[in-house]
């Protein structure tokens, strides 16, 4: 017994499949474009707001200078009211990105997120940051031991030095454990060029440099 498939119905099926796939591709490209533009606008706006807040803070404290650049101005908030924490920079990698509170989908699409429950810059403990491997934290793949990390916040400017780079399983929450020292932990997915949900996590640990 032979199964006969007419050419005309097959052509219609293929044509509709082609239209569906084309529509999906356009929608995906449109979403990617929206995400990139939204993130770019968010970063530009938040960096401008941060600079304005820092400038106002410097002007207000000119009459009462701090003992050193690491001291926190009296009454300085840990974050702005919209969740802005500050800006993290890695000079050698030309990385400069705004940090906001939280690691929900929107926060990580627009910025690097401060992991709730971890310390804030200027506090003793482990400051945890998370970012996407295919956007803001992609440059972390080129980090080296002893690279400098700068963190500008409303509580002051803090410098860290990278002391370790390692790969762990996603359920290894020990990397965010509290610490008696001032340390910074940056987390992103690994491998960097993996297609789909990455199976591992890339962990960067840096220690605050005190002057």
pLDDT tens digits, 93-149: 999 999 999 999 999 999 999 999 999 998 889 999 999 999 999 999 999 999 999
pLDDT of residue 166: 97
pLDDT of residue 74: 42
**Cβ–Cβ < 8 Å for 143, 184:** no
Strands 200-208 and 95-101: unpaired
CA 173 → CA 118, 128, 170, 178, distances in Å?
Answer: 12, 11, 8, 11
Q: Which residues of the chain have pLDDT under 70?
A: 1-7, 19, 22-35, 63-82, 211
Residue that has been written with the tokens 């097959």 in this structure:
10
H helices present in the chain, as ranges: 7-60, 105-110
What SS3 state is found at 20? helix
CATH fold, domain 77-208, is Sortase; Chain: A; (2.40.260)
pLDDT of residue 82: 63
């Amino acid at each position: 017994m032979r199964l006969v498939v007419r050419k005309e119905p097959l052509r219609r099926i293929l044509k509709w499949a082609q239209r569906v796939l084309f529509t999906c591709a356009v929608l995906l490209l449109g979403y990617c474009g929206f995400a990139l533009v939204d993130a770019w606008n968010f970063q530009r706006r938040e960096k401008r707001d941060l600079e304005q807040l820092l400038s106002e803070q410097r002007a207000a404290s000119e009459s009462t200078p701090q003992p050193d650049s690491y001291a926190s101005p009296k009454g300085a908030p840990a974050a702005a009211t919209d969740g802005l924490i500050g800006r993290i920079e890695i000079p050698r990698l030309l990385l400069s990105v705004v940090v906001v509170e939280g690691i929900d989908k929107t926060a990580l699409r627009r910025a690097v997120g401060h992991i709730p429950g971890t310390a804030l810059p200027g506090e003793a403990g482990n400051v945890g940051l998370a970012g996407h491997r295919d956007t803001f934290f992609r440059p972390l793949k080129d980090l080296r031991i002893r690279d400098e990390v700068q963190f500008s916040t409303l509580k002051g400017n803090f410098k860290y030095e990278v002391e370790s780079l390692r790969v762990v399983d996603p359920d290894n929450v020990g990397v965010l454990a509290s610490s008696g020292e001032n340390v910074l932990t940056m987390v992103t997915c690994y491998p960097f060029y993996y297609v789909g949900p990455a199976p591992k996590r890339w962990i960067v640990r840096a220690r605050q440099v005190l002057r």
